[in-house]
Chain A
Amino acid sequence: MTKAARERPRGRGYAHWRFPPAVPVLGVLVALLVLLPLGFVASYVAASSWTEIRQLVLRPRTAELLWNTSRLIAGCVLTCAVLGTGAAWLVERTSVPWRGLWRVLLVAPLAIPAFVNSYAWVSLLPGASGYGGALLIVTLSYFPLVYLPVGAALRGLDPALEESAYSLGRGPLRVFWGVVLPQLRPALAGGCLLVGLHLLAEFGALQMLRFPTFTVAIYEQYQSSFNGPAANMLSAVLLACCLLLLLAEQRLRRRARYARVGSGVARPAPRVRLGALTLPAVAALALLAALSLGVPLGSLVYWLVKGASSHVAVGPLGAAAATSLGLGAVAALVTVALALPVAWLDVRRPGRLATLIERSTYFGNALPGIVVALALVTISIRVVPSLYQTVPLLTAAYAILFLPRAVVGVRAALAQAPPVLDDVARSLGLSAMAGLRRVTIPLTAPGLGVGAALVFIAVVTELTATLLLAPTGTQTLATQFWARSDGLAYGEAAPYAAVMVLLSTPATYLLTRDTRRAASR
């Protein structure tokens, strides 16, 4: 219904509808909060003298970090693109058996935080470190970020284009290369951007693998010497890398075509018959699942069993779980509340202001946790020292980092309740409040819940910002796990990791739900 409404040319669109004038003001305030770390880093660089910048940035260490970071990103983006697209094509476009199973197994690695994955590998194979180890482990953790959007795009493609290509005498491979792949470009570019941004922000996994990138170095700089200026300057370089990635993705996207004729796909796309290649295809998917899912889960179970033979401290585990749950719940509520005006403007009042606000909140996706944390530490110490290492400041960091997830959920929720339904409710004699109670809230609640759940899970497995900003003595599952795995106490760390994986599973379920729904239709 909404799709058809969007396609109808309707002059001024939503300009017909009234809306509360406070919403744009709130939206601007949210955008300012999100831009705070960015503004801080920019003003910090602007306030520094040239010699200072030269001293702190132009040194061999920076070159080494830049080299490490960029070769890891280049390698990992490439392998993720190949693995993610290949797996998506096998599952969505060929006759490979057990499609439903693969759809779940290929997304499930997202439930295992990357630092838990690298702990699992390192504890089994102490030699898995350096570039090779890092590349292997982060690829296994992040390829679903490419698999998910590409799979969705493959399902949404108009099969008529492929059918035309087949009818013109092209074989399956040439059709994929010449017809399908060009249409996947926006999805592929988006997925690769996510992988790149995750890598720039990744701290725990790479620290454990002793592969120093910018984020790792900033943390060490800050933790070892409390060297604020150096850490802040490296933050600026890291941010520049993020912006570079964003720009590259924008360029790729702009050249790609989004235009799709027709409102939806009525029939399933043609599938390539694998024939004799079925067995190798199944083996490849099984190997990918075994490495990305089997190894970390197996390792966790192994250490759980082994650790149980000594003793598991149930008290600290319970306390950490309670802290994580509490922080997650508070952050989820706050973040969804902040997302409301942003999504509202974007859905109901599209225009330049709405786009600007929405884009700036999207920065949260690109901001590494370390940069946000460092900026908030410095600002709070300088401006409001009483806020330093408090729950509100930590919550603000979570909100900045995870706002995009909440906006996605809230926007989907609002799209479920187009304003025309408010109009109908009012024409049937309902007051604005009654309309809210009987129409808007029942329709948007599920979407808001999804947004809150996604933020909640992200907070529970967040490590970097929590390490820097958590009040002294506050231990979450992630920080407890980190403290133990650092000291090679693998058996003691396992229960914390296991609880985090268990808590992340519902979010993964939410991510695959749309996939399964589309598939069952």
Chain B
Amino acid sequence: MTALTVQGVTKSFGTARVLHGVDLDAPARGLTAILGPSGCGKTTLLRLIAGFADPDTGTITLGEQAVFTGGRSVPPQRRRIGYVPQEGALFPHQSVAANIAFGLSRRERRSGHRLRELLDLVGLDREIAGRNPHELSGGQQQRVALARALAPEPDLVLLDEPFSALDARRREDTRRAVAAALRAAGATAVLVTHDQAEALSMADQVAIMRDGRLVQIDRPATVYRQPRDAGIARFLGEAVLLPADVIDGKARCALGTLVVRAPGVTGPAEVLVRPEQLRLRRDGDGDGDGPTATVREISYYGHDAAVRLSLHPDGLPITARIGGTELPEPGSEVRIIVTGDVLAYPTSNTRGSDPPGKAPPHRP
């Protein structure tokens, strides 16, 4: 069953077109992440779904009910959509308990039963109910904001970059707590984020947004393994993209001859190799086949490391991600082995879909 359906939604602010015909189905009881860089229109889409603003064209349907169609709009307070904004936005003049109970009826507010239930649900100590928002940490504020949104049992919960203001350690804990609470509540959720690790780790379905369009909607593993174009591949983590010539499902490139996963591409292309597909051997070990490279620089992260290499003979820069136990020396020569198959994008296509002057891809 589909909890939320967005069809052909467009929106402009003045002369600037922000959304160019967005289609999205969010399955019930699932978490859909809308992932895109800043300014791509994802927050606008969220606000249209919530009803804080109206689309120029298109329809928005919640379950069976059309909440926006043909210019007729159900006001936000009657849509039964919970909303968790950036930085929580708790009501500063009310205690944690009053914040969570804000959307409840007077009777429910008085009983306190639901309040305790919600505090347990988001994993907060019951003792903080009497505190004021400014006495909470950022992560606690976000959990209270989620509890507040879940309190009236909404049909859909929208989360607008809820973790971006938290520091790295709290972010991970809060993400897990929020995902668990959403699952326990059986809520349908749409999360907007620019952090691909967040989208991939939390969501059941990831929708990639670029320049006001949803360019790919798939399960997390699919969007990572089979990005529709090179731009998406680069946005979803580090990518090694090499010019290649594809014949009969084999790509010949600077890393040797590689097996192409999706058939159908022939001729000049760009192949996508993920850094974790590369293995490094000391030059001279085993058989002398395969490409070699010089180690330029190593970023050591403990659990693993990123090794930046210059590929022989042209000095093409590539990155390998390897386990942190056995590291090569900077300046040494290594042999590169590619594991698994690769994706290939016809060269003319990639050029077309990748606008010039685009910012470099995010690093994980």
Q: Which of A5, A8, A12, A426 has the most CB of B within 10 A?
A: A426
A420 touches B89 (CB 8 A): yes
Answer whether residue B52 sits at the interface, using C-beta atoms and an 8 A cutoff: yes
Quick one: CB contact mask for B250-286 with A, threshold 8 Å, 1 for yes?
A: 0000000000000000000000000000000000000
Query: Please, how many angstroms separate the alpha-carbon atoms of A4 and B141 in the complex?
Result: 14
Q: A16-B53, A18-B52, A429-B78 are in contact. List 7 more A-B contacts (CB 8 A).
A: A4-B87, A420-B86, A420-B89, A421-B91, A423-B52, A425-B102, A428-B102
Interface positions of A from 317 to 368, Cβ below 8 Å from B: none
Query: Please, how many angstroms separate the alpha-carbon atoms of A67 and B158 in the complex?
Result: 67
Q: Which of A5, A9, A18, A431 contacts B77 (CB 8 A)?
A: A431
Binding site for B on A (CB under 8 A): 1, 4-5, 8-12, 15-18, 416, 418, 420-421, 423-431, 438-439, 442-443
Query: Please, how many angstroms separate the alpha-carbon atoms of A4 and B80 in the complex?
Result: 29
A428 touches B93 (CB 8 A): no
* Chain A residue contacts of B38, Cβ below 8 A: 9-11
Answer whether residue B355 sits at the interface, using C-beta atoms and an 8 A cutoff: no
| Min distance, Cβ B214 to any Cβ of chain A, angstroms | 18
Q: Which of B16, B80, B89 contacts A424 (CB 8 A)?
A: B89
* Chain B residue contacts of A421, Cβ below 8 A: 89, 91
A16 touches B44 (CB 8 A): yes
Given the known A-B contacts A9-B38, A425-B102, are A15 and B13 also in contact in the complex, defined by CB atoms under 8 Å? yes
| Min distance, Cβ B70 to any Cβ of chain A, angstroms | 20
The 6 closest A-B CB pairs, nearest first, are A428-B103, A427-B83, A426-B76, A420-B89, A426-B77, A11-B39
* Chain B residue contacts of A5, Cβ below 8 A: 86-87
Answer whether residue B149 sits at the interface, using C-beta atoms and an 8 A cutoff: yes
User: Would you give 9 A-B contacts (Cβ < 8 Å), ordered by A?
Assistant: A1-B88, A9-B38, A17-B53, A423-B85, A426-B76, A427-B79, A427-B82, A427-B83, A439-B91
Quick one: CB contact mask for B177-197 with A, threshold 8 Å, 1 for yes?
A: 000000000000000000000
**Nearest CB to that of A9 among chain B residues?**
B38
Answer whether residue B230 sits at the interface, using C-beta atoms and an 8 A cutoff: no
* Chain B residue contacts of A426, Cβ below 8 A: 51-52, 75-77
| Min distance, Cβ B8 to any Cβ of chain A, angstroms | 21
A428 touches B148 (CB 8 A): yes
Given the known A-B contacts A12-B13, A429-B103, A443-B93, are A423 and B165 also in contact in the complex, defined by CB atoms under 8 Å? no
Query: Please, how many angstroms separate the alpha-carbon atoms of A1 and B39 in the complex?
Result: 21
Judged by DSSP, the binding face of A is helix
Query: Please, how many angstroms separate the alpha-carbon atoms of A416 and B93 in the complex?
Result: 10
B77 touches A430 (CB 8 A): yes
B47 touches A416 (CB 8 A): no
Answer whether residue B357 sits at the interface, using C-beta atoms and an 8 A cutoff: no
Given the known A-B contacts A5-B87, A443-B93, are A428 and B152 also in contact in the complex, defined by CB atoms under 8 Å? yes
* Chain B residue contacts of A442, Cβ below 8 A: 93
* Chain A residue contacts of B80, Cβ below 8 A: 429
Answer whether residue B81 sits at the interface, using C-beta atoms and an 8 A cutoff: yes
Quick one: CB contact mask for B68-110 with A, threshold 8 Å, 1 for yes?
A: 0000000111111111011111011100000000110000000
Query: Please, how many angstroms separate the alpha-carbon atoms of A423 and B151 in the complex?
Result: 16
Query: Please, how many angstroms separate the alpha-carbon atoms of A5 and B161 in the complex?
Result: 12
Given the known A-B contacts A1-B89, A4-B87, A418-B89, are A427 and B13 also in contact in the complex, defined by CB atoms under 8 Å? no
**Nearest CB to that of A443 among chain B residues?**
B93
Q: Which of A9, A10, A425, A427 contacts B50 (CB 8 A)?
A: A427
Q: Which of B77, B83, B86, B164 has the most CB of A within 10 A?
A: B77
B152 touches A4 (CB 8 A): no
| Min distance, Cβ B240 to any Cβ of chain A, angstroms | 30
B165 touches A4 (CB 8 A): yes
Query: Please, how many angstroms separate the alpha-carbon atoms of A74 and B43 in the complex?
Result: 53
A423 touches B83 (CB 8 A): yes
A8 touches B52 (CB 8 A): no
Query: Please, how many angstroms separate the alpha-carbon atoms of A1 and B136 in the complex?
Result: 12
* Chain B residue contacts of A10, Cβ below 8 A: 38, 43
* Chain B residue contacts of A18, Cβ below 8 A: 52-53
| Min distance, Cβ A417 to any Cβ of chain B, angstroms | 9
Query: Please, how many angstroms separate the alpha-carbon atoms of A425 and B89 in the complex?
Result: 11
Query: Please, how many angstroms separate the alpha-carbon atoms of A443 and B79 in the complex?
Result: 26
Interface positions of B from 102 to 159, Cβ below 8 Å from A: 102-103, 148-149, 151-152, 154, 158
Query: Please, how many angstroms separate the alpha-carbon atoms of A420 and B80 in the complex?
Result: 17
| Min distance, Cβ A287 to any Cβ of chain B, angstroms | 41
| Min distance, Cβ A444 to any Cβ of chain B, angstroms | 10
A427 touches B77 (CB 8 A): yes
Quick one: CB contact mask for B39-62 with A, threshold 8 Å, 1 for yes?
A: 100011001001111000000000
Query: Please, how many angstroms separate the alpha-carbon atoms of A16 and B43 in the complex?
Result: 10
| Min distance, Cβ A248 to any Cβ of chain B, angstroms | 37
Q: Which of A424, A429, A438 has the most CB of B within 10 A?
A: A424
